[in-house]
Structure 1
C-alpha cells in the first residue's frame, strides 16, 4: 500500500454525483479518492446535460425570435452550433476537471474500479496495472447509468443518446424510438439541424410520467417543427445492410429499416434508440461482497457501501444525484441534521418546444397517494398572464397546481410554455416549505413577468382554499 491508498472514502465514478460525494466528505474532514475509467466529469458533462442544452438553447432562441415582430434575421448555423457544443464539452478533454479535483484536495485514480473485498476497491489502470484502495469509512458507487438497447436493434448499431449529443454529421433522415425526455429533446435539435425526424412512440403519449397536457403540447410543437410523431408504434424487427461503429455521432451509411407490428416498414439513414436507461452495475464487483443488482434495488447493503445517483434507486437526474451525494458526503463526515433524499420533491425540466417543467406529484399520483377527496387542482393558460404573453406573441402553454386539501399546501406543479423552467423553483420552494396556498396569495408577482401566472393559478383554486 502506498500513500493515498487508504483514504476514508473511495468513490467509484467521477461524474457530478461522485464528485459531490467526495467534495462533501472532504469538507467534513475526511479524505476522499475518485476512481474514474473514462472522462472525469461523467455522462452529464460530455454526453448528456451539457451538450444537449448547448444544442437546444440556440434552437429555442431562434424559434422565439422568429415569433417576435421586430426581431429580424434569426437563423441557425449548424457548424457554429456544433462548435458551441464542442466548447461546452471541452472537446471531450477532462483536464479542467482534473485541475478542479487537485485544487479541492480530492485524489483521482484512473482506471476501472471494482469491489474486491469489503471496503476494498481494485483499480485496473489503462496500462493493465492494478492498484488496491482500502476505504476506512465507506465505498460509494456512483457509476451512473447506461442506455438500454432492445435486442431487435443490437445488430444494426443504433445511435444512443451519446451519439445524438455528439453528432458530427447530420443525417438526412432519422428514426427515434422512444417518447421520453431524451427522445423529444433529440428530436428537437436534430430536426432544427435539418434531419427529417420520425418519432416512434410505443404508448399513446409523450412524457408519460408527467401531466398529460405536457405531452400533448410537446407533440404539437414537434409536429410544427416537421417531426413525424407515430403513437402505438410497436417494433417487430430492425435491419441494416452494413453496420459498423465509428465513434460518437457516427454515420454508418445506412439505411436502417424498421418493421412495425402493424405491417408497415420505415427506412431512414440512422436510428436513435431512446428506450430508457439502467444502472451501470454489471462490472463493479458486487458479487465479490455477496451482492447483486437486486440487493442494490432493495437497499440491502452493508453499512460501509452506498450506491447513489443513476446507479442507485433515486430519480435518474443529475441534480438529484448531486443532492443525494451532498447528503451522503455530509453524513459520512458526521452530520446528523440532513434530511433523507427520499423526502425531497423531484424537479425536472424538458427543453422541448414548449419547455416543460414539473416538480412533485401529478394529479394522478396525488390521488393515488392522498386519496381522491384530498386533492384539489387549479389550471391556467400561459396566454392568460400578460407577462407570459410578452415572452413571444404566440405564447401558448398551460400550468397546473396540485394541492393537498388537508394542509392547503402545494404538492405538485407543472408548467408547459415559454421559459417554463424559470417558473419551477418557486414551486419547489413552496412544496419543500409546505406553504399553504392561502399564504402564497400574498407573494406578489412582479408585473409584467411570467410569474404572474402564479396569481392566475391561485385565483383558479376552489374558494375554500384561497
Structure 2
C-alpha cells in the first residue's frame, strides 16, 4: 500500500501513513531510511534543520577540512626535500573556502535530493511524538503534518553541545563545536576549554591557521578516554606548535569586555582572547520531541536493546547519539543499518535472536569494538578497551607497548617519526581486547585492529597476517614479537 493512498488533507493539516517514520535526517537517520526503503518499507524522514545533520555541516566534514592542511603541512615538514617548501603560513582564506565547499555552503539540496532518490518522503519541520506510532510535524510555512507509522518510529535526533553553568555566559557568545567549525575568520587569540576530541582537534586546526591558542583542561591530561600516552603525545606536539596547554585548570568566570573575552581560572590566571570555545560535553537532542507523550523523560538519553529498540517499547527505536552508546558518526551509521534490518525483519515476522551478535540477518548490534580516530598531530586512534577499562570489566590482561621508531616504514614516512602502539591482550582467551595507535597517519591502521578485536582473532592466528614491508603497518609484527618475547 503506498503512502499517497493513505494520505488525507485538510486546509492546514495533512495526514499520512508510512511503515517507518524517522526523526532526524543526519547521516544516521539517512542510513535508517536507506535500509528500510531497500527492504520495501515506505519511509518518511523529518528534519528541523539541514538534511545531512551535524556531521555534514558542523562536525566531521568541516572539521576535517580545517585539519587536513594542518596535518599535511606537519607531515611535509618531516620529509627531506620538502620541509623548506612549507615553512610559510597556511593560506587561511583558501582553507576556509575549501571548508565551506566540504560543508556544501550549509545548503542541503543534495541531501534532500538523495533521500528522494531512494523513495523516502522528506518532511522539513519540527517533529514531535504525539503518542504511540504518531508524529506531528510543524512545517516552516505554518502547516502541520500528522504522520502515523505502521511499524516503527526511529529517533535519530543526535546531540548538542553543553555549556557550563557560568554567570553571564550567554552575553559572552562563546563558541561551541558549531561555531568552531564554521567561523568565517581566524581569531587572533582563542581559548579552548576542554581536553576531549573536539577540543584537541580545534586547537590543532586554529593554531595551524595562525591563532594564539590556550587550552584549559580540568583533568590531568588530554583525551582522557584513550590510553594516557595518547593525550601526552598530542599535548607535546600542540605545545611544540606554540599552543599553551594547561592541565588541572578550570574556568571560574568569563566576560566580554569591549569585544575581548576575559576568562578567570581557579589557578588565579586572567586570560584574554578574541573567542572562547567550550568543548565540555554533549547532551541528547530529545528535550522537545514529545517523549512525555509515550511515558519517557524529555531530554534523556534513550536506553535501547541490541536491535536498537527503546527499552520497554515494541515500536520505538533510537539510533546514534540519542542512545548514548557511542557518540561517533560511523557507529551511528552502523546502528542505523542494524535498526533498519531489525525493523524490516519484524515487519516481515522474522524472529531476531538478540543473543547472537553475529546473526546472519545482522539485526543485533555489537559494541565491543568501537573505533575512533582523532585527527590531530600526531593522530590518535583506538578500538576496544583500554587497559584500565579491561581490568575494570574483570578481564585478566597484559598491555604490550611498542614505539614506532622500531618500524622501518615509520622512518621512511617521516624523519623523527614519534608514536607508540599498544595492544591489550586477554590472557585467558588469547585475543585482543583493545588496540591504540598514536603517530602520523595511524588512522589508516585502525581498521585492521578493529577487525582483530571485533572478530576475536586469536593472537596465534594474527602471527600469520604478515604486514607488507616497509610500511607503517609493520607495527603489528613488532607488537606480536613483543608479546611472544
| TM-score, normalised with respect to structure 1 | 0.94
**Higher alpha-carbon deviation: 379-388 or 330-339:** 330-339
Give the structure 1 partner of residue 12 of structure 2.
Answer: none
Q: Which runs of 4+ in 1 moved over 3 A?
A: 1-4, 297-301
Q: CA deviation at 1:241?
A: 3.0
Q: CA deviation at 1:462?
A: 4.3
For the structure 1 residues 456 and 347, does the alpha-carbon distance in structure 2 shift closer, same or farther, using more than 3 Å as the test? same
SS at match of 1:376: strand
**Higher alpha-carbon deviation: 192-201 or 388-397:** 388-397
| CA displacement, residues 186-212 of structure 1 (integer Å, 9 cap, x when unaligned) | 000100111100000000110001000
Q: CA deviation at 1:449?
A: 0.5
| CA displacement, residues 338-381 of structure 1 (integer Å, 9 cap, x when unaligned) | 2532444100000011000000000111111134xx20121111
Give the structure 1 partner of residue 358 of structure 2.
Answer: none
Give the structure 2 partner of residue 151 of structure 1.
Answer: 165
| CA displacement, residues 24-62 of structure 1 (integer Å, 9 cap, x when unaligned) | 111112111110111100000010000011111111111
Are residues 1:305 and 2:316 paired? yes
Are residues 1:354 and 2:378 paired? yes
Give the structure 2 partner of residue 248 of structure 1.
Answer: none
Alignment of 1:4-83 (within 5 A): 5-71=16-82, 72-74=84-86, 75=88, 76-83=90-97
SS at match of 1:331: helix
SS at match of 2:18: coil
Aligned-partner Cα distance in 2 for 1:343–1:53: 25
Structure 1 stretches of 5 or more lacking a match? 243-253
Are residues 1:126 and 2:140 paired? yes
**Higher alpha-carbon deviation: 357-366 or 255-264:** 255-264
Count of residue pairs brought into register by the alignment: 450
Aligned-partner Cα distance in 2 for 1:418–1:259: 35
Give the structure 2 partner of residue 2 of structure 1.
Answer: 8
1:137 pairs, out of 147, 151, 161, with: 151
Are residues 1:189 and 2:195 paired? no
The answer on whether the counterparts of 2:341 and 2:363 sit within 8 Å (CA) in structure 1 is no
SS at match of 1:435: coil
1:261 pairs, out of 261, 266, 269, with: 266
The answer on whether the counterparts of 1:446 and 1:452 sit within 8 Å (CA) in structure 2 is yes
Alignment of 1:283-294 (within 5 A): 283-292=288-297, 293-294=299-300
The answer on whether the counterparts of 1:295 and 1:301 sit within 8 Å (CA) in structure 2 is no
Are residues 1:160 and 2:176 paired? yes
Aligned-partner Cα distance in 1 for 2:278–2:28: 25
The answer on whether the counterparts of 2:339 and 2:363 sit within 8 Å (CA) in structure 1 is no
| CA displacement, residues 196-249 of structure 1 (integer Å, 9 cap, x when unaligned) | 00000000110001000000000001001111001111221111136xxxxxxx
| TM-score, normalised with respect to structure 2 | 0.90
Give the structure 1 partner of residue 433 of structure 2.
Answer: 411
The answer on whether the counterparts of 2:286 and 2:301 sit within 8 Å (CA) in structure 1 is no
The answer on whether the counterparts of 1:314 and 1:342 sit within 8 Å (CA) in structure 2 is no
Aligned-partner Cα distance in 1 for 2:170–2:430: 50
Q: CA deviation at 1:294?
A: 4.7
RMSD of aligned alpha carbons: 1.5
Structure 2 stretches of 5 or more lacking a match? 1-6, 10-14, 305-309, 353-360
2:114 pairs, out of 100, 115, 129, with: 100
For the structure 1 residues 294 and 102, does the alpha-carbon distance in structure 2 shift closer, same or farther, using more than 3 Å as the test? closer
Alignment of 1:190-229 (within 5 A): 190-229=206-245
Q: CA deviation at 1:154?
A: 3.2
